[in-house]
Amino acid sequence: MLLFFTLIDFVLVCCFLYQWGGGLVHSLGQNMSVKFYNGILNIYVPGILYVQGDGISDPYQDMTHSVYPAIAYNEERLWYQAKEDSLSDYENLAAMENEQAKQMIEENRKAAQVKKVDETADEEVKVATGKDKAGEKKVTINRKKLEDFDYLRQTFYQVDSTTTIGKKQLNVKKLLTPDMTVDMETEGPQILIYHTHSQEGYKDSKPGDAATSVVGVGDYLTELLEKEGFEVLHHKGEYDVNDRDHAYSNAAPHIQKILEENPTIQVVIDLHRDGVGENTRLVTKQNGKKMAKIMFFNGLSRTTAAGDIAYLKNPYIDENLAFSFQMQLKAAEYYPDLTRRIYLKGYRFNMHFCPKSMLVEVGAQTNTFEEAKNSMEPLADLLAKVLKSED
């Protein structure tokens, strides 16, 4: 009997290994290689990994790929998996955001019973009466309420599944403390605007005509910011032509060179256009105009799968987060419904060159160019309020 049951157990184990063993070994091997890559290699060859992560052509990169091909492949796989969000995923996310936005608007309406904004902000949200003009405050967000981490995260942020964030980074005092004011007395540009994905267009953009694409939106933002008294450098380099997947790596050395040649630049804005499901329309109405909704975007240099990414180090993550939050808070008070929630994702997105770095998604492919262009008016006003401390 013992021999009989031993044989049965042996047969079952063989069947299990035949059916699922390959997948388990493959998965285990991938996970072990990723952990090994981010652990041991970061200790012994950090310089090589840093160069490899930035995508810079270098003999060290070739050596890394040749010596550690399996590990390099797995890290590359993690990178591209994070970019494989399908249109349906975007559509579901946008639909969820729209529902949450409606909920927030309804809550604000219910809280709009008071006639005067109390400076102590005892209420969660109070409506300021008689302020319907463009650029004036519509509501006041209670700063005390923002000390609740769960409220702060759910109200102002959308965290991608590729990454994680906690109370240490999303702390309202930490987000509001940094002074975002720029030195307006310098001779030279204070703001750089560029486009990692310059080929992104809108519903009615003309193929091959940059003036009707996200670059044209950047032209209008440049014009508006110059009227606010800023000196702006609008860089129109193309880094995603026939190679969208490596656009950030392609752009990095050029942006770094621009900043080295223009040390007066204190703010860097990477202007994009999002991609959503064809049935999703990211539209709001501000100052009597239809506008594309905008979304601020941050990279955390951390993935859920691998933890902190040492070779994608960003010394300015806290400043990046403070910049986008201060902009988001001003938008919620002066232009309710203009912005989607701040999107947090796992990588760096070239936001490591400057403390005041910002990635902005202006509408999507389902918006018209005019809607995208119109939204630059409140965006320029918000930038002026934050960068010149106007309030």
CA distance 142 to 217: 33
275, 156, 205, 228: which is closest to 380 by C-alpha?
A: 228
Tell me: pLDDT of 114 over 70.
no
Tokens representing 194? 């560029």
Do residues 139 and 333 touch, judged by C-beta distance below 8 A?
Answer: yes
217-250 tens-digit pLDDT = 999 999 999 999 999 999 999 999 999 999 999 9
* pLDDT for residue 10 is more than 60: yes
More confident site: 339 or 104 = 339
CA separation, residue 197 to residues 1, 161, 241, 259, 360 (Å): 70, 23, 8, 19, 12
Q: Helix or strand or coil: residue 238? A: coil
- How far is the C-alpha of 252 from the C-alpha of 77, rounded, in Å? 21
Please determine, for residue 72, whether its predicted confidence score (pLDDT) is greater than 80. no
First-to-last alpha carbon distance for the chain, in angstroms, is 85
pLDDT tens, position by position, 122-169: 333 333 333 445 668 899 999 999 999 999 999 999 999 999 999 999
Say what the pLDDT of residue 19 is. 62
139-141 vs 157-159, strand pairing mode: unpaired
What's the mean pLDDT when you consider all of the chain? 80
Mean pLDDT across 30-38: 51
Exposure letters 273-304 (e unless 16+ CB within 10 A, then b): bbebbeebbbbbebeeeebbbbbbbbbbbbbe
Q: Quick one: average pLDDT of 205-213? A: 96
Confidence of residue 259 (pLDDT cuts 50, 70, 90): very high
What pLDDT digit, counting tens, does each position of 288-346 carry?
A: 999 999 999 999 999 999 899 999 999 999 999 999 999 999 999 999 999 999 999 99
- What sections of the chain are H helices per DSSP? 2-16, 22-44, 46-54, 59-67, 69-81, 87-110, 149-156, 172-176, 214-227, 247-261, 317-334, 369-374, 376-387
- Predicted local distance difference test score (pLDDT) of residue 8: 81
Residue 75 neighbours by CB under 8 Å, 6+ apart: 34, 37
User: Quick one: CA dihedral 209, 215, 221, 222, positive or negative?
Assistant: negative
